[in-house]
Amino acid sequence: MNNQLKELQQLKGIGEVLSRRLIESSYDTIAKVAAAEEKGLERIAGMNPQKVRSIVNQARKMTGEAEKSHHTWSKDRSDG
């Protein structure tokens, strides 16, 4: 569990308390956070919508998920 805590704490805005809450909610890796629906993360105590968006974006960048067309807008911007 300590490795999971350390991994999640790489995300800006995630400290010890939120990393434990994420793990308890089955988001125990950055990849799972990257793949998460924002609504699911918003249910975790201490996670407001702005924080969730930032954390998910960070996780997706770290795992390369952003390039896998989860958000088509990210592709559209780079084409401009």
12 residue type, one letter: K
All residues at 6 or more sequence positions from 44 whose CB lies less than 8 Å from its CB, including other chains:
18, 21, 22, 25, 27
Instruction: Note down pLDDT in tens along the chain; length 80 residues.
Output: 899 999 999 999 999 999 999 999 999 999 999 999 989 999 999 998 889 999 999 999 999 865 554 444 444 444 44
pLDDT at position 1? 85
| Tokens found for residue 68 | 């896998």
pLDDT at position 36? 93
Angle, alpha carbons 4-6-12 (nearest 5°): 115
